Amino acid sequence: MPAWLEYDFMRNALFAAILIAPLFALLGTVVVSNRMVFFSDVLGHSSLTGIALGCLLGLADPFWAVVIFAAVLAVLINFFKAHTHASSDTVLGVFFALVVAVGIVILSKSGGFAKYSNYLIGDILAVNTGHLRVLGCLLAAVVAYWGWAANALVLMTINQSLARTRRIPVFWLETSFSIVLAVVVAVSIKLVGILIINSLLVLPVAAARLVSRKFSDYTCGAVIISVVSSVAGLIVSYYWGTASGATIVLFAAAFYGVIAFFSIISKRV
Amino acid sequence: MPEHACGECCTEILGLGVSLGRTRVLENINLRLNCGELVAVIGPNGAGKTTLLKAILGEVEYNGQIGFSIRGALRKNIHIGYVPQKLSIDYDTPVSVLDFIAMAISRRPVWLRLSAGVKDKVHALLTEFSCQHLMKRKIGALSGGELQRVLLAAAMTPAPDLLLLDEPASAVDAKGLALFYQLVCDVRRKYDVSVLLVTHDLADVAPHADRMIFLKKTILAQGKPGDVLSDRDLLKTLGPSLWNISELANFKIAVKEKDTHDAGLA
């Protein structure tokens, strides 16, 4: 057995990485195609406010506060977008500023922000078996949701009016996806970190996009790249003594860089 | 065979009016689209053509009634086949034509490998619309004409009550457009479906349309394309960019040919 696998925390972290990676890859395919990258970033940053609300309520672990706040925020943004004529960029910018500011104001009261800074960069090594169980259930639930909703989601991305004529309830579908995304982001935020969670949604998918022609290759490619970079990043972070989340992101970025380089070269030739 | 291939049904629009904010965009639209009929809606920019489509699609609030009538009974729910003007995905999105049609006609998730049965079904459908060679291409990367044919194939499965076409001419070259209109004509005869088509292009659609509707807030004129387009005062409101003398000349030749052809058939 390699040295890094002798520790319980590394084994748990490995399981966590293997569970989280496909989750992010699946959801990322629609996030990127539907131009929701900024939206998911807002959800990630909303956990600052979620943690703050958890503290105000006197919760020992703000986990549920983060999850519920992110889901409520997702619904709120969708509602706002559907009922105003402002560009979605602007609406998201407003919510982004708001959730970050509220979170920091509450958490920094009497200079106590430092103790929450591990949420910013995440700590996958702190994962315990309880977390793993939650992640396992979440993965099963998302795969089931994907079986039911993925076709409709992609059709909605292609053209909303067309989707409506095929009896797809566009508003509810978009809302359900936002909630699923919010829950996945909120559940993984402590492990991956607010600052880099969005990279996990975007990078593997962006890399797979460069080499896929059909949706099944796209999904499969994103899952493979996501899992490989997560495991590789985790192992390397053990030897380098660096933060695992950021190291994982570096690997995903390297995948993207190499694939982008070769796809540019192959088009030139 | 669709349930309405009987000559006794039609899409009915009765007393339709739409306001967007405080602006009255459409009022008092009464329109009956018989099955198998191809109706072209023309009109200047801002005349409410797009709003009419949105009302039929149920995307804007309206007063009046829109429905599908079978032997006099009006059903609110119209099964619409819709061919949008453009898609909202990027050029490089990895969704193939096969994926797109499979999503539309089967419930099997496209992120898993598609079964041979679904592939065969899609291939047969695309062949009917002369675009089987596009099956493996990315849908975002198709040319305007290719995309219109693929969208038409999807819109006709299953056969709808009404086929709505939104500006098919906007991104298609003349040759592609002729092929597309020919396909639409074949389809509506085969399935006996009514077709409503909104367009800026007068000369190319005129020979194919059974009826032309001139819309500007309400229906200002309707009838055979030849009659509507011979009203010079009406046409002036379209503006010089859309209607010039050379097009008019082309159009007259085209309509004459069609009329002679129709008279021959009769």
Do residue A165 and residue B89 have CB atoms under 8 angstroms apart?
Answer: no
pTM of the complete model: 0.86
For the segment A47-63, what is each residue's pLDDT rounded down to a tens digit?
999 999 998 888 888 88
Query: Backbone dihedral region of B243: left (phi > 0), alpha (psi from -120 to 50 degrees) or beta?
Result: beta
Q: Which is higher by pLDDT, A182 or B200?
A: A182
Say yes or no to pLDDT of B134 above 90: yes
pLDDT tens digit sequence for A59-88? 888 888 999 999 999 999 888 887 877 778
Residues in A closer than 8 angstroms to B165, CB to CB, are none
Closest CA to A179 of A141, A132, A147: A141
Least CB–CB distance from A162: residue in B82, B94, B98: B82
The residue ranking higher by pLDDT, A21 or B264, is A21
Do B99 and A214 count as a contact with CB atoms less than 8 A apart? yes
| Chain A positions in Cβ-Cβ contact with residue B59 (cut-off 8 Å) | 161, 164
pLDDT exceeds 80 at position B235: no
Q: B111 vs A29: CB contact, 8 Å cut-off?
A: yes
Alpha carbon of A12: minimum distance to chain B alpha carbons (Å) = 29
Ranges under pLDDT 70 in chain A: 268-269
pLDDT score for B152 = 92
Mean residue pLDDT across chain B: 82
How far does CA A160 lie from the centroid of its chain?
24
The CA distance from B161 to B246, in Å, is: 37
Find the helix or strand (DSSP H, E) in which A58 lies. none
CA of A15 vs chain B CAs: smallest distance (Å): 24
B212 touches B230 (CB < 8 A): no
B103 touches A at CB < 8 Å: yes
Predicted confidence band of residue B241 (pLDDT cuts 50, 70, 90):
low
Does ipTM exceed 0.90?
no
- Residue B60 or residue B228, greater confidence: B60
Mutate to test the interface with A, among B93, B97, B135 (most CBs of A within 10 A): B93
pLDDT of A79 reads 86
Give which of A36, A154, A225 to mutate to test B binding, by max B Cβ within 10 Å: A154
Mutate to test the interface with B, among A88, A153, A216 (most CBs of B within 10 A): A216
- Cross-chain Cβ contact B139/A158 below 8 Å: yes
Q: Which of A29, A164, A214 sits opposite B96 (nearest CB)?
A: A214
Predicted local distance difference test score (pLDDT) of residue B245: 44
Q: Which residues pair with B165 in a beta bridge?
A: B83, B197
Which residues, listed in sequence order, are joined to residue B211 by a DSSP beta bridge?
B39
How near does any CA of chain A get to the CA of B51, in Å?
13
| Cβ atoms of residues B88 and A160 within 8 Å | yes
Instruction: Give B96's contacts in chain A (Cβ within 8 Å).
Output: 213-215
B95 vs A154: CB contact, 8 Å cut-off? yes
What's the residue count for chain A? 269
Taking CB atoms and an 8 Å limit, are A165 and B82 in contact across chains?
A: yes
- Answer with the residue of higher pLDDT: B230 or A230: A230
Looking at the complex, does the CB of residue A161 fall below 8 Å from at least one CB of chain B? yes
Q: What local confidence, expressed as pLDDT, does residue A268 receive?
A: 67
Q: Is A171 on the interface with B (CB under 8 A)?
A: no
Chain A hits for B103, Cβ within 8 Å: 151-152, 154-155
